[in-house]
């Protein structure tokens, strides 16, 4: 993950973080989805180009719909209530898992990929994101004897954050490219690039976020 935050009239701040994510299915939820336990084990971390301590591993309790949407991020012993919103994990997890079509699609067909999420903050209130867009089946490729489907997702919309009503509002765009292994039924690679522009009382802030997920061999 690479993030750059640029306040108006001030130098930008950058963050680079690598992590291993291990998931296991712990139950089922309504509508054909599943409840997962995800453990995020941080690796290399750089802040403004300098090595920093990434902190301990985090265990995340989340619900995922049959199309890949993250529908809920719950508190655990290592992730207290409100911390998911403060850390931005809700949006990070949602955008790193591209939504798949709920039905069979033909080449270059599109499907709904809207994203609406609320992330509560530990101090009260929280942040909301409401993006509208579509996914598209771009092409099929054969790699090492496996059939791969290449997907793209384009979304745009609005974000808001505040403790009691919106203290700041803004716009957001999200562009994702992904590869789905048809033989294993798994997303094996996904890169998401998001750009958010939010206006606070102190002025506008731009946040550029790039996440890359690769399935371990």
What is the band of 51 on the pLDDT scale with cuts at 50, 70, 90? Answer: very high
**Contact present, 120 and 128 (Cβ < 8 Å):** no
Stretch among 41-45, 83-87, 137-141 having the lowest mean pLDDT: 83-87
What is the band of 142 on the pLDDT scale with cuts at 50, 70, 90? Answer: very high
Q: Which residues lie below 8 Å from residue 11, measured CB to CB, with a gap of 6+?
A: none
pTM: 0.82
* Six-digit token string for 119: 């992330």
* Six-digit token string for 140: 């099929």
What is the band of 201 on the pLDDT scale with cuts at 50, 70, 90? Answer: confident
Domains of the chain: 2-214 (2.30.230)
pLDDT, residue 52, reads: 93
Distance CA 79, CA 187 (A): 26
What is the band of 39 on the pLDDT scale with cuts at 50, 70, 90? Answer: confident
Q: Euclidean distance between the first and final Cα of the chain, in Å?
A: 20
φ and ψ at 92, to 5 degrees?
Answer: -60, -45
Query: Is the pLDDT confidence value at 12 over 80?
Result: yes
pLDDT, residue 126, reads: 72
Query: Is the pLDDT confidence value at 87 over 60?
Result: no
pLDDT, residue 181, reads: 93
Stretch among 34-48, 79-93, 135-149, 188-202 having the lowest mean pLDDT: 79-93
Average pLDDT, the chain: 85
pLDDT, residue 79, reads: 62
| pLDDT over 70, % of the chain | 85
Q: What count of Cα atoms within 13 Å lies in the side-chain half-sphere of residue 163? A: 3
Distance CA 135, CA 118 (A): 22
Query: Is the pLDDT confidence value at 89 over 70?
Result: no
User: Among candidates 148, 149, 152, 172, which has minimal Cα distance to 160?
Assistant: 172
pLDDT, residue 103, reads: 84
Query: Is the pLDDT confidence value at 129 over 90?
Result: no
Query: Is the pLDDT confidence value at 85 over 80?
Result: no
pLDDT, residue 54, reads: 87
pLDDT tens per residue, range 66-81: 877 777 777 666 665 5
């Amino acid at each position: 993950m690479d993030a750059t935050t640029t306040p108006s009239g001030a130098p930008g701040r950058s963050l680079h973080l690598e992590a291993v994510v291990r998931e296991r299915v712990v139950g089922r939820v309504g509508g054909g989805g599943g409840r997962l336990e995800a453990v995020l084990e941080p690796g290399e971390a750089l802040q403004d180009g300098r090595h920093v301590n990434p902190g301990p591993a985090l265990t995340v309790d989340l619900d995922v719909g049959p199309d890949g949407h993250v529908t809920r991020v719950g508190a655990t012993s290592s992730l207290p209530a409100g911390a998911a919103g403060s850390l931005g994990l809700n949006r990070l997890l949602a955008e790193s898992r591209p939504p798949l079509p709920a039905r069979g699609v033909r080449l270059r067909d599109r499907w709904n990929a809207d994203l609406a999420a609320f992330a509560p903050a530990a101090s009260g209130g929280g942040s909301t994101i409401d993006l509208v867009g579509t996914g598209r089946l771009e092409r099929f490729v054969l790699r090492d004897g496996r059939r791969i489907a290449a997907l793209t997702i384009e979304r745009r919309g609005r974000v808001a954050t505040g403790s009691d009503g919106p203290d700041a509002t803004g716009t957001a765009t999200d562009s994702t490219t992904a590869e789905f292994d048809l033989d294993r039924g798994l997303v094996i690679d996904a890169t998401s690039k998001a750009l958010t522009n939010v206006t606070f009382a102190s002025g506008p802030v731009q946040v550029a976020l790039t996440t890359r997920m690769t399935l371990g061999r």
